[in-house]
Amino acid sequence: MANFQVPIGISNRHVHLAAEHIALLFGQGHELTKTKDLSQPGQYACEEQVALVGPKGTLPGVRVLGPARKATQVELALTDAYKLGVKPPVRDSGDHSGTPGIEIVGPAGRVQLEAGVIIAARHIHMTPADAQKFGVKDGDHVRVRVDGPRAGVFDHVLIRVSPTYALDMHVDTDEGNAFMLQNGQIVEAIVE
């Protein structure tokens, strides 16, 4: 086991859409339009945006990320959740049991999502080779030390391992702002 350095990626609010919801929101046969690649191989930001409508308010201009997923998922920061009037739990991506829904509005239609709104658990993506080198495995948790004017430690950072991942830590905008982080900033994971 060894401490290791990892770059930070700060995730703004976004939506992952199932193919059926892409068709409902943007029109039958619509293909997502890639605008830029993201840090994880095969993942990308899209030109398409939607509005999220909650009991207390609306967030327009929420970016869609591709490619299409098996299930639609909305990832928010807690500040976004307050504005919308929803109470999503902190979850690993894809764990939608007991999560709230929300209305998603696109240019061609609306989707009333019954579940799938989460605050993403802070996590580190890595390959199996990275995991072996650092002495961790998928599902483990580490602490991460941040230096700088708002120095501190993130506890309970989930390790996610896959051959399709690239080494990167993901936090949401609330967490990034609290620590005054910048995309690409290097932090230290503490393996105990």
pLDDT tens, 88-108?
999 999 999 999 999 999 999
The neighbour count for residue 117, using CB atoms within 10 Å, is 27
- Residue 1: the pLDDT is 63
Per DSSP, the residues of 25-52 read HH-TT----EEEE-SSTT-EEEEEEEEE
Close Cβ partners of 82 (under 8 Å, ≥ 6 residues apart)? 56
Q: How much is the pTM?
A: 0.94
Residue 130, pLDDT > 80, answer yes
**Where residue 192 falls among pLDDT bands split at 50, 70, 90?**
confident
Q: What is the mean pLDDT of residues 3-14?
A: 96
Per DSSP, the residues of 6-30 read EEEEEEPSEEEEEHHHHHHHH-TT-
Contact 46, 16 (CB under 8 A): no
Measured distance CA(149)–CA(160) in Å, rounded:
29
Close Cβ partners of 19 (under 8 Å, ≥ 6 residues apart)? 68
Give bridge partners of residue 168 from the DSSP assignment.
125
Residue 2, pLDDT > 90, answer no
pLDDT tens, 43-91?
999 999 999 999 999 999 999 999 999 999 999 999 999 999 999 999 9
Q: Where are the domains of the chain?
A: 4-8+122-190, 12-120
- Looking at domain 4-8+122-190, its CATH architecture is Beta Barrel (2.40)
- Residue 131: the pLDDT is 96
**Where residue 128 falls among pLDDT bands split at 50, 70, 90?**
very high
Q: What is the mean pLDDT of residues 106-114?
A: 98
- Residue 101: the pLDDT is 97
Measured distance CA(136)–CA(148) in Å, rounded:
26
**Residue 112 burial (10 A CB sphere; 0-12, 13-18, 19+):** exposed
Both tokens assigned to 117: 């709104």
